[in-house]
Amino acid sequence: MSLTQASSPPARKQRPPPQSTVVTAVEQVTPLVTRIAVTGPDLAPFALAKPGAHMKLFFPAGEWPPAEGVANAPRPPSRTYTPRRFDAAKSRLEIEFVMHGAGLASDWAAKAKVGDRLLVSAGPGGGYPVPEDISNLVIIADDTALPAAGMVIEALPHICNVNAICEIENAGEERALSPLVACKPQWLHRSPGTAKPGAMLQAAVASLSEQPAGTYYWVACEAAAMRAIRDLLFARAGIDRKRVHTRGYWKYGDTNYPDHDYGED
């Protein structure tokens, strides 16, 4: 009789350490949006494979790298953000921060100045695989997803028609989704005391006019609102689920929501 050894669990993949960068520019885009550019030689292998990808920003409490070395140090607290634009030739990365009260990342961004350091994950993940046959796209997004929406618009073929519905704080937060591609969104300004984030997006989707056959939908906003919008779209006759891409960017009451909520549970 032969004995078979039990197979050991596969070794956990070692995540590369955060990359160190330096702030080179701080721009106040709107009263609530700050765009920060960082550079650094460690960004050389950084690449944006798909529009709307996500990455981690790390905020260590003390000096980095720590005295015990990066390999042995616990990973600093982090938040998920969209790498809005990357210039490989200059190793320059742009990130847009939406300021909605106190928080780990927003507190840092509110005080950021040229010369400050920021740790960035080794590379972005996820993103929107732009369909080859796309000719009409409906974008449904709140202010946290506008950087990603701009990236998606820039990745579309020129023949694609875009209908963007965007929920923001007020008229002062209206801005161009892209400096490269013209797009005139339908802006929804949150009513004071609105009970649920994304409520105006849900109402807009519920009353959305019939779209051309084969239309794709890109939805990115608060997680509960995203699921409600997803259900509204799937309730419509003729919409193929494969044409609906959804993403929960944040969750009301959660300060560090996971970056992989696609609403498919």
Give a three-class secondary structure readout of 124-168: CECCCCCCCCCCEEEEEEEHHHHHHHHHHHHHCCCCCEEEEEEEE
In single-letter form, the type of residue at position 190 comes to: R
Q: What is the C-alpha end-to-end distance of the chain, expressed in Å?
A: 45
Task: Specify whether the CB–CB gap between 212 and 160 falls below 8 A.
Answer: no
The predicted-structure confidence for 195-252, as pLDDT tens digits, reads as follows: 688 999 999 999 999 999 999 999 999 999 999 999 999 998 789 999 999 999 888 7
What would the mean pLDDT of 66-80 be, rounded to a whole number? Answer: 80
Distance (Å, whole) CA 240 – CA 243: 5
Burial string for 71-82 (b: 16+ CB within 10 Å, else e) reads: eeeeebebbbbb
Q: How confident is the prediction for the chain on average, in pLDDT?
A: 87
Residue closest to 226 by CA, chosen among 209, 249, 243? 249
Distance (Å, whole) CA 130 – CA 126: 12
Task: Specify whether the CB–CB gap between 211 and 136 falls below 8 A.
Answer: yes
**pTM, full prediction:** 0.89
Give me the architecture of the 136-250 domain, per CATH: 3-Layer(aba) Sandwich (3.40)
User: What is the side-by-side strand order in the sheet with 78-81?
Assistant: 78-81, 55-58, 117-120, 19-30, 33-39, 92-98, 83-87
CATH topology of domain 19-120: Elongation Factor Tu (Ef-tu); domain 3 (2.40.30)
Distance (Å, whole) CA 58 – CA 73: 13
Residue closest to 136 by CA, chosen among 80, 210, 191, 215? 215
Most trustworthy range by pLDDT among 38-42, 97-101, 225-229: 225-229
With H, G, I as helix, E, B as strand and everything else as coil, classify residue 232.
helix
Domains of the chain by residue range:
19-120, 136-250
Q: What's the confidence (pLDDT) of residue 204?
A: 96
